[in-house]
Structure 1
Amino acid sequence: MQNIYTILLLLYINLAYSQEPSFISHISQKLIKDIGDEAEMACSTKHSQEFNVSWVKVAEDPIDVSIVLSSGSTLIVKDPRVSLITEIKQDSSRYIIHIHDVQEDDASIYRCDVITGINDKISYYTQLLVGNQPFIYENSSRSLVVVERQSVQLACFAGGYPTPKIFWRKPNNPILSMGNILKIPAIKKEDRGNYYCIAGNGVGNDTSRRISISVEFPPVVTALQTSVGQAVLYDAYLECHVEANPQPAISWIYKGIEISNNQHYWISDSVTADDKTDSFLRIMKINNYLYGDYTCKASNNLGAAEIKINVYAYSQKSPYITHITQRFVIDIGGEIDLDCSTRHSREHNVLWVKIAKDQINGSIELVGSTLIVKDPKVSLITQIKQDSSRYIIHIHSFQEEDASVIYRCDLNVKISANSTKSLGVEEAQSTLIIGCFAGGYPYPRVFWRKPNNPFLSTGNALDFPTLKKKDRGNYYCIAENGVRNDTSRKVSIEVEFPPLVTISPTKVGQAVNYDAYLVCRVEANPLPSITWMYKGVELSNNQHYWISNFATADDKMDSTLLINIKNYLYGDYICKASNTLGAAEITITAYSKYCFHKHMHKIKHYIHNAILTVKINQQSKLLSFYSSSC
C-alpha cells in the first residue's frame, strides 16, 4: 500500500513539472498619437491557453472604476471604435486592442492581465498618450492692481500633451521669461500694462491668457514750455502733462488762488492715454496784471506734484496784408508773378487760394512757405523778414484754362475738403505734407498732436521732409478759439516698408536633449511671411522643431523657434522675413553648452518612470516641475 502512495506522489510531481508556467512575453511600448489616428496595443503571452487574458483601461483617479475592455477572445466594452484581434496558438498567443479614430479620452494607462488564480494574476502595463493642444488652468493669475515698488509674482499653469512650454511676453517686447512664474521684484509705473502667458506644444494653435497689471503711483507733472511769451490783448496758451494712477485732480493756480473758467481763463483737460492727462490753460486777451507764474498742480491719494510756467510780455503787432497783385492781362504761354505782401505775419499762416469761375471755395495753392499744388507750371518764391514778408506764386506758360480765375491771399480759411484725410505711403518718400484749415471767430489756433505726445507743430501744415516708419499712426489736427468745444480731425498715416529683422542674443548655448529657444523680431508692413532655415532647408513643426509667431503690435511680430537639441542640430539657423517691398534675414547660432546638471537628469528620469505607472495627473505635474533648462 505504501508503494502505491509513493507511485501516485511521483506521478503528481512529474505532472506538475511537465506543465510550463504562463507569462507575458511582450507588450506594446508607450504610444503617442494625435486625435483621429489609429492605435494598436498588443499583449503576447506564453502557455496561457488554460488561463483568461484580459485588457483593462486603468482609471486615472482611485475613485473611478477601471474599464475591462476584453476577456479572452470576447470584446467587453461597447464602443464602435474599439475592436479586439486575437491570435491564439498552442504555445503562444496575441491579444490586440485596436482603437479607431483616437480621441482625447482614450489617453490612459492600459493593463494586460493573465488571471492565474482567484487572487493571482500577471500584469504588464503600457500607455497611450494623445496629443492635444494646450489649455491654461483657471488657477493661473488674473488681472490685478498694485502699488508702485510692490513685489509682484504672476503664475500660469497649462495642460496638454506634449507638456506645453510656457513663456511670458508684453506687447512690443521680446520674451520676458520662460516657465510658469514671472517675478517683478519692485514694480515700476513703466511695468504697467498687459502681460501674456503663452503655452504651446506644437499641437494646434498656441493658447494665451492676458493678465493686466494696473500700477498705482503718485502724479508726475511735466511741461513742454516753462516760459511762454505773449503780447497784451493776445491769447496765451499754457500746457502741462500729468501722469498718475489713480486719476488725479488737476488745478491751475495764480498768485495762490485756484483758477476757474471765467472771462480771463479757459481750462481744458484731455486724457491722451491710460494714466496720462494733458491740461491746457488759455489766458484770453492777456493784460499786464495777468503776467507772472502759473502753477499746474496734480494730486491723488498717493501724493501730489506741480510745475511752474512763467508768462511774460513781448510786443507783437496785428498782422495785415499790405499789397496783392491786382487784375492782370496776359497772353497764352506768358509768365506772371502773383505777389502777396504782409506785415507782422510770422505767427500766422499765409495762404494763396485759387477759385475757379462760379465756385465759392477754391483749392489751396500754398500754406506759408510750402507749395501745396502739384503743378509743374507753378513755383513759389518767399521773402520772409522779421516785420514784413512776401509770398509770390510764379506761373509760367500761362494756359487758357488758367483764365477767369480768382487768386485770393488769406491769413486764415475755413475747414475745407482740401484738408488732408487718411493716407498710405511708402517709407522714404521724399516729402509729405498734411494740411488742416480752420475758421471761426475769434480766429482759431490750429495745432497738431499725436497720441501720448505733446504738441508737434502749430499751424495749418505738418511737414514730413523724409517719411520714416516711426512716423506712422494717427495725427490730430485741433482747432480751438475758446468758443464751445475744440474741433479736431484725425489723419491716419500708414507707412509701408520692407522687413527689418533683429535678434537678441545672436548665439544660444544649450546641452544635448535640452530645449533651445531662438527668437527673432520682425517689423514690416504689409504683414510679412516668416520662415526658419537650417542648412538650406525650410523648417516646419515636427519632433525636433516647434515654431510660434506672435504679433506684439501693429507691424511687429516675434517668431520663436524651439529646438529639442541633438548633436546634429547645432549650427546656424536663419530667420527670414519677406513682403511685397523686400526681404531681410538674420542668423542665430546654436552651439553646444556643457550641462552641469546631467547627473540630476538621470535621477529625474528614474523618478519619472516610477511615477508614470501610478497616476497620469501627477505625472504631468511632475514632468513640468522637473523639466529644467541646462
Structure 2
Amino acid sequence: MLVVWDSTVNIYSCAVEGQEGLHSPVVCFQVKVTPQQFSAYKTLTCSTTCTLTGNPTYIWYKNGQIVTDNTSPYSVLPNAVDSYSCAVKGQEYLHSPAVCVQGQSCNRVTYTKRRICVLKGSTVDMSCTVGYYSTTSTFWFRSDKSTPEDLTRDPGYTGRVKHTGTYKGPFILRISGLIEEDSAEYRFTFKTYNFEWGHSFPGTTLSVTGLQVKVTPAAEGQKTLTCSTTCTLTDNPTYIWYKNGQNVQDNSSPMYSISSEDADSYYCAVKGHNGLSSPAVYGPKTTVSVSPSGEIVEGSSVTLTCSSDANPPVQSYTWWYKKNGGDYQSMTGPHHVFNQIQSSDSGEYYCEAQNEMGTDWSRTINMDVKYDPKSTSVSVSPSGEIVEGSSVTLTCSSDANPPVDKYTWYKKNGASLTGSEKTYNFTTISSEDRGEYYCGAENKYGHLNSSSVSVDVQYDPKNTSVSVSPSGDIVEGSSVTLTCSSDANPPVDKYTWYFQNKTFQNGFGQMYNISKFKSKDNGHYHCEAWNGRGSMNSTALMISLPGKQTSVMNAAVGIIVVVLVLILCLSGLMWFRKKASKSTSDTRHTADNGQGDSSPVYDNISGMAMNPTAAQTAATDDQDDVHYASVHFSRAKYEEVPLYSNVQLPQPQKQDEDFQYAAVKFNLPSAAPK
C-alpha cells in the first residue's frame, strides 16, 4: 500500500505501490476530533478509509512540528488553540490536513493555492493567511533547501522577489522573470510572541513551463499542432496561433490542424503573454558540407556532413549518392566518413532530412577525387600483323585525375624515345623498329609506367647467304654441308637450292648435304629463302676441289690479263701517235714520189688495213673509248717505209732482215670517222 498526497484537493488517496496511476480518488486518511466520554480531553484519530498493513506507526504534528511518536488515537485539551496533523512513519512528507481542536480558529497556515503553473518569463503571486495570533516575523522559503532561508536574501532571487503582508496577512510572495529553475515548493513560516510555526507542512508548489508546439499526424492527410506545456496552466488561458509570423487563430483549445504537406513556420502564445510565445516549428532547411574543403586526394580522410535547421529536430538523415554515373544509392546518418577515400567514391552526393513537419533535400555536390595515374597501358594500331613499310601508331592510355599532362616513351633495353605526346607514330616502320615498348604517364600527383607491348614487324627475307662446312679445303669424297641463312619475319619456312642456276630436286631444307664430294660437284651454288611475304636469292658460292680451276677463277684471271693488256696497248698507242706526228711530212713526201727506203709497218685491225691518218684522227677524238682485246708483237725486216691509212697486212715474207709485226684490235665507237 502506498499513500499518495493529492495537494490539489487537500486529500490523501490510496494506491498499490508500482501502480500509482491506478489509485482510487477516495480519502485515504484524515484527522478526526471526538470528545472523550466522562473526560475533559478530546481524542484525535488518524483515520483511513482503507486499512494500512503492517501495523504502521503514526506521527503527530502540533503547529507544524513533531510532538511525539504514538499510535492513534492521540488526546489533547479541548481549549487548545493549536492545529494538529498526522502522518505515517516512513512517509512523513505525506501529511493529513491540519485541523483545529476547537472550531476554525487556531494556529495554522492556509495557502490560497496549493499548486500553480505559470509561463516562463512571467510573474507569479503566491499567498497565504495565518490563524489566531498576530505575527512578529514572517518569511517565505524553498522547501528543498536544507535550512530554511528567506528568499529575499537568496542571491538566486536578487531583484526578482518581493514579500508583502503584515499582521495576519494575507502574506504575498511575488517572483518575476520566472525561469524553469524556479520550479519548487514554497512555504511560509512565522513567529509570534508565544511560539514559532514549524516547517514541515506542505506549501504552494510552483511549476514554471515554456510553450512548445508538438506535431502529430492525423487522419486524411492532416497533422495536428499542439501548444504544449509541462504542466496545466492556471486560469484556463486562451491560445493564439501564428503562421509565418501572422496571427491565424485565437482558441481556448491548445490544438490547431494543418495539411500534412504544410511545412510552413508555426508557433503559439497565450493571450496576455504574447511576448512569451513558443519556438516556431518548421520543416528542415538542409545543407551539405565537405571537410576538408578544397581538392580531395585519393587516400585522404574526408567527411560529409548533412546539416539541417529544423524544429522539431530532424528525426532521420538519409544520404543519396551516385557513384561514377551509376544509379543512386543510400546510406544513413548526419555524417559520412571516408577514412581512405578512393577514386571509386567519386560521384554526386546529397542528403535528405526529415522531421514531423516535412522533408527537405540539400543541394547536390560533386565529389571529385584526385589521384595519380593508374592502369597505364599501351595499345598498337593497327591491331593485326605489322608489315615493314606500313604506318603504325602506339597509344598510351592511363586513368588519372587530373588527366595525364606528360607522356614518356621507352624502348625496352634502350633509351627513352623522342616525344611526350599520348601517341607515338612510325610513319614507315622498319625491321629495326622491332622490340618491346612501354610508356610513362604523369600528372601533378605522380607517375606510372605501363607494362611493355611487343611490336613484331614482319618482312620478307633479306641478307640471304650461303655458308659451307667444313670451311677449309674440300677433300674429294668428304661430306660437305651447305647452310642457307636469311633474316626474315616470320622466319623462313621454305628453302630452295640451286646448282649452276638449276634447281635441286630434293634441295628444300635450310641445309643441303653432299655426302661424297667429287669433281662433278664443282660449281656455283646458291639458295632461295621464302617466308610467305616474299623471297630472296643468295649470291652464288663457288665450291670446287683444290687444283680445279673454276669459271669464276678463270674469269678473274682473264679480267686481270685484259687489264694488263689494255695498259700495254695504251702505252703502245701513245708511242705510235708520237711517232706518227713527228714523221708526217716525210711520209707524205715519200708517198708522192713512190719512194720508200724504210721498212713498212703493218697494222692488223680486225683483218683490215687502217689508214694512218684516219687512225690518228680516231685516236685523237675517241681515245678514252678505245678498248684493246689482245696485243701481239712480232719482228719483220723492212726498210723504213711511210705510214699508210689503210693497210692490208700481206703474208709474211722472208727478208734479209727480221720485221716486227703487231696484231692490234681496236674497238672504235660507231661515230668515229672511217
Q: TM-score w.r.t. structure 1 length?
A: 0.34
Higher relative contact order (CA 8 A, sep 6+): 1
- TM-score in terms of structure 2 length: 0.32
Q: In terms of Rg, which structure is larger?
A: 2
